[in-house]
Structures are given as structure tokens and as C-alpha cells.
């Protein structure tokens, strides 16, 4: 039985993510309780705000080593959304340099466009296959709100790109770890399908 944990660390659009998963009919809870995280089958980390603020809250409210045991050792499917994707990187440069989780090697830097934030609907350009994109058209649009972007060290980790004067990584995957720069919980049917695909992933 699938049991979804939306990590509660005082940041992120957690209610909207919960509502989508609940609508899809899955057992879900917003929590930072270690027992629930350990008993969950899928883990989601939403994110709103700055890179450094997100990392500060995570370090205050969670045991990173316990979280890594569930994701890096036990290989539970993990989805980071927006800043929740960005902090998967080695470090970020929003309001100074800040160390990330370093689960996927790379850095987060400002989008090269004077019109920031990048906000609204934009499409994704699929670079390689992923279970996350099952039954999704390559022309599907998703809802973005971002001024920074993840630059992976390994281009093989890039699932899709999006153009906003420059191409940037909009979906990333390394084994059981997925990240999306956009907000699937705000992206209507395409976002619901992507979340459903994630919840059907197993390793």
C-alpha cells in the first residue's frame, strides 16, 4: 500500500500538494515525524522561498542523516518541487553561497533574464525518458515561479529543459530522486498526471 509523506519543514505549498494527492486517492500526511517518514513509501519535499531559508529550516526541523537513510539507502521514491528540487544540489548562490543536500551534484544560480521572476505557464522540452512523464505529451505546459535554476554537473540527470531566454533544467532525475522546477500541484491535469506517475514509481 502506498503511503505518501509530504515533509513539513515550515516552507512550501504543502496544502495544495496534499489536496492533489488526496484527490488522486492516496494515503497522505503532511509531517516531519520520523516514524511516519520511515513508514512511508513515497516522500515529497515542496518548496517556496529562498534556497538558504529552505536549508536552514530543514536542518532545524529534520535529521538529514535519517532522511538520507530512507532515500539514499532504502531508495524510496523522492520528489522535490521548486526550491525542494534546487536544494538537492551541492550548493546554491541565492543571497550568498549555501550548501545544499548534495544528493545530485550541481549548483543553483540566477536565471539569465532581466525579467524575473519567471512566473506563469511554460512548456517543457523532453530530453530523455522518465517514468515521471508517462502518458504526458512533450507539449504540456506547467506553472513556474522561479528566479534561480539548477545546473546539474551531469547532463544525463536532465529529463527536461524549459526556455526563458535561456534553457534551464525543469525536471531532473538521479535513480529514485526526482525534482521539478515547476509546481505540478498548480498545473492542472498535466500536474496531476505527473504526480500520479511519481506515486506509481517503485525501486
H-helix or E-strand spanning residue 199: helix 188-199
Identify whether 175 is a catalytic site residue: no
Does residue 117 have a cis peptide bond before it, meaning omega lies within 30 degrees of 0? yes
Q: Which residue is catalytic, options 42, 94, 98, 185?
A: 185
User: Coil, strand or helix: which one is 187?
Assistant: coil
**DSSP states of 147-164:** SEEEEESSGGGEEEEEEE
What is the distance between the alpha carbons of residues 6 and 20, in angstroms, rounded to a whole number?
12
Q: Which residue is catalytic, options 28, 82, 98, 169?
A: 82
Closest CA to 44 of 164, 178, 192, 194: 178
Identify whether 82 is a catalytic site residue: yes
Residues 81/48, Cβ–Cβ less than 8 Å: no
HSE-CB of 161 using CA atoms within 13 angstroms? 13
Q: Where does 9-122 have alpha helices with state H?
A: 14-24, 34-39, 51-61, 64-68, 83-86
In angstroms, what CA-CA distances link 87 with 39, 139, 152, 189?
A: 24, 27, 12, 26
**Active site residue ranges:** 82, 183, 185
Amino acid at each position: 500500500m502506498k503511503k505518501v509523506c509530504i515533509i513539513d519543514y515550515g516552507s512550501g505549498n504543502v496544502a495544495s500538494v496534499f489536496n492533489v494527492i488526496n484527490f488522486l486517492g492516496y494515503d497522505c500526511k503532511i509531517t516531519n515525524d520520523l516514524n511516519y517518514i520511515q513508514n512511508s513509501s513515497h516522500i515529497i519535499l515542496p518548496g517556496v522561498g529562498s534556497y538558504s531559508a529552505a536549508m536552514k529550516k530543514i536542518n532545524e526541523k529534520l535529521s538529514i542523516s535519517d532522511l538520507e537513510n530512507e532515500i539514499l539507502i532504502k531508495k524510496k521514491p523522492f520528489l522535490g518541487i521548486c526550491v525542494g528540487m534546487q536544494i538537492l544540489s551541492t550548493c546554491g548562490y541565492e543571497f550568498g553561497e549555501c550548501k545544499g543536500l548534495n544528493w545530485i551534484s550541481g549548483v543553483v544560480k540566477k536565471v539569465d533574464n532581466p525579467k524575473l521572476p519567471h512566473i506563469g505557464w511554460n512548456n517543457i522540452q523532453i530530453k530523455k525518458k522518465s517514468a515521471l512523464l508517462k502518458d504526458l505529451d512533450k507539449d504540456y505546459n506547467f506553472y513556474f515561479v522561479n528566479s534561480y535554476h539548477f545546473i546539474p554537473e551531469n547532463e544525463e540527470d536532465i529529463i527536461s529543459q524549459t526556455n526563458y531566454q535561456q534553457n534551464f533544467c525543469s525536471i531532473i532525475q538521479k535513480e529514485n530522486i526526482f525534482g521539478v522546477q515547476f509546481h505540478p500541484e498548480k498545473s492542472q491535469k498535466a500536474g496531476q498526471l505527473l504526480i500520479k506517475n511519481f506515486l506509481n514509481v517503485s525501486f
